Chains A and B, each alone.
Chain A
Amino acid sequence: MELGLTPYLILAAFLFSCGLLCIVTKRNAIGILMGVELVLNAANVNFVACARYVPGFAMEGQIFALLVIVLAAGEAAIALAIILNFYNNSATVDVDRADELRN
């Protein structure tokens, strides 16, 4: 039995779905951020698996995975800064209470 590309793609699909579930169901802002990290990781698994299995994609796959990792780190830093500001203003991290801009 040989290990092909398909198992990696299915695992990535599963991680992506878990990330989506996390984003949709969590009400804590930091929980939503974690869901986004899961989604980005799922994409990264796809990139690296394709770097390994798709001919001529060895360099691109890894480089895009590295770029995604760096961007995700920056995104987490900014998101946490925003969440902390929100917490300072409204004393909660429940995103359902972030409705000051309505009306």
Chain B
Amino acid sequence: MNLDVILFAVIAGATALSALSVALTRDIVRSAVWLLFTLIGVSTLYFLLGAEFVGATQLIVYVGGTMVLVVFGVMLTAQQQFLKIKTAGPEWLVGGILAIALFAVLVHVSLGFGENHPKPATNTLPSAGPLGTAFLGNYLLPFEIVSVHLLVVLIGAAYLARAKRRSKEEGRS
């Protein structure tokens, strides 16, 4: 036993438990909180793997940005005090069978794939500096595509969520 194994067991257990709770909880805000814990667990896993920059990015973008947005959405669309929309029994059955079958297939594949890759000698991954250089070198095209995509998202979200003033003015006149 070494520390990596213990840490992985604790973090992975917590992450998996919260991920399961996301799917099983009916209350949408609690679901969001469990998703928050899953995301934090995943970012801890990145730190454990030595990918510090990716872990910190996960924290700042997902936890600080996306999750706040999601909870904001939940608050804006909640009609009753705490929003619950029930799911019928057969849907649970179908969904459960589907998920378990997929999990079985994926585990089968990963058992075959994972055994060929033992623990590497180095304990570090390239950090912010090399990643930045790579983004401006070999990976310039995906970087540019992502930035254009973000611009499109910015305009699109602002257009979709804008306050609809025109109809009000028409009503007044």
Contacts and interface: CB of A to CB of B under 8 A. Distances in A.
A–B: direct contact at CB < 8 Å? yes
A17 B100 contact: yes
A44 to B, nearest CB: 7
A13 B45 contact: no
Nearest to A25: B95
Nearest to B34: A34
Contacts of A55: 120
Contacts of A31: 28, 31
B102 A20 contact: yes
A74 B85 contact: no
Contacts of A4: 114-115, 117-119
A3 B130 CA distance: 26
B87 to A, nearest CB: 5
A82 B2 CA distance: 48
Chain A interface size, under 10 / 10 to 19 / 20 to 34 / 35 or more: 35 or more
A77 B38 contact: no
Nearest to B151: A74
B149 interface: yes
Contacts of B35: 34, 37-38
B157 interface: yes
B85 A94 contact: yes
Interface string A22-58: 1011111011011101100100110011011111001
Contacts of B130: 59
Given A21-B95, A34-B35, A84-B161, A71 B146 contact: yes
23 contacts: A1-B2, A2-B5, A14-B103, A17-B100, A26-B85, A30-B73, A37-B62, A41-B39, A45-B45, A48-B45, A48-B54, A51-B125, A53-B119, A58-B126, A62-B54, A62-B131, A63-B131, A67-B146, A69-B57, A70-B146, A72-B62, A78-B160, A94-B85
Closest 8 CB pairs of A and B: A6-B114, A9-B110, A13-B106, A24-B95, A81-B160, A74-B153, A17-B103, A21-B99
Given A7-B114, A13-B102, A74-B153, 18 more contacts: A1-B1, A4-B118, A7-B12, A9-B110, A11-B12, A13-B110, A17-B103, A20-B99, A30-B70, A37-B66, A49-B49, A65-B54, A70-B61, A71-B146, A72-B61, A84-B73, A92-B79, A94-B85
